Amino acid sequence: FFFFFNQLQKDLEEVKELLTKATRKRVRDVLVAEKHKLELEIKNQPLPKPKDVAEEEKSSLGGYTVKINNYGWDQSDKFVKIYISLNGVQKLPAENVQVNFTERSFDLLVKNLNGKNYTMTFNNLLKPISVEGSSRKIKTDMVLVMCKKKREEKWDCLTQVEKESKEKEKAAYDTADPSEGLMNILKKMYAEGDDEMKRTINKAWVESREKQYKGDIPMDI
């Protein structure tokens, strides 16, 4: 991390130095754009913690850590809101509920709740968020994470991974051959269905094949 951070700082210093020497407008424009890009990248890097502080924080956790997988979410024009249920969280000191934001991620740490620590991490958020405008609220048996949208637009899902997963699934059914698309849907229903659903699909399939063999299915003339 320190090596990467130092490299960014050195790149920025060199770009600034080149800017003082550049005279051509086109060259200056390129250098200014690169300067802004580097400054933004440095700003979004998490600040390194002194070793003693990191060790002290680690030792203060105690107990064991539970990864949170269950949550609910919705959105308004300005915020994406993630709801995490945690019984008794409102009884903790406020500093025991920490959320760190970057432009495309956040991680939650709840310390010493009934002798356990709870964590949740979201990487690769679907769209950029404002670090300064984002926050968390502690409610009865719940933590609400408020991610401030950089642009007021609708999010179809929370992360880039979810979006890619949905697109792959959609592509599997959007085939050129409608019958192939139907077969994919039936296969999915069969794989995810209970025994009753599987019996129903099997019966319909057998009856369909029998009709084809008997020539009962009418043909267009």
* 158: nearest Cα among 66, 76, 81: 81
* 132: nearest Cα among 169, 101, 159: 101
Which residues fall within 8 angstroms of residue 85, CB to CB, at 6 or more apart?
A: 70, 141, 142
Strand, helix or coil for residue 202: helix
Pick the CATH number of 1-44 from 3.10.129.10, 3.30.420.40, 1.10.4080.10, 4.10.860.10: 4.10.860.10
Highest mean predicted confidence (pLDDT) among 1-10, 16-25, 64-73, 162-171: 64-73
Q: How many other C-beta atoms are found inside a 10 Å radius of the C-beta of residue 146? A: 18
Question: Per residue in 97-107, pLDDT tens?
Answer: 999 999 999 99
Task: Check for a shared fold between 1-44 and 65-149.
Answer: no
Least confident of 108-122, 126-140, 177-191: 177-191
Q: Which CATH architecture has domain 65-149?
A: Sandwich (2.60)
pTM for this one?
0.52
Q: Band the pLDDT of 77: cuts 50, 70, 90.
A: very high
pLDDT for res 172:
61
Among positive and negative, which fits the CA dihedral 167, 172, 177, 180? negative
pLDDT for res 125:
93
Domain boundaries, the chain: 1-44, 65-149, 175-215
Distances (CA, A) of 104 to 64, 127, 160, 164: 28, 7, 10, 16
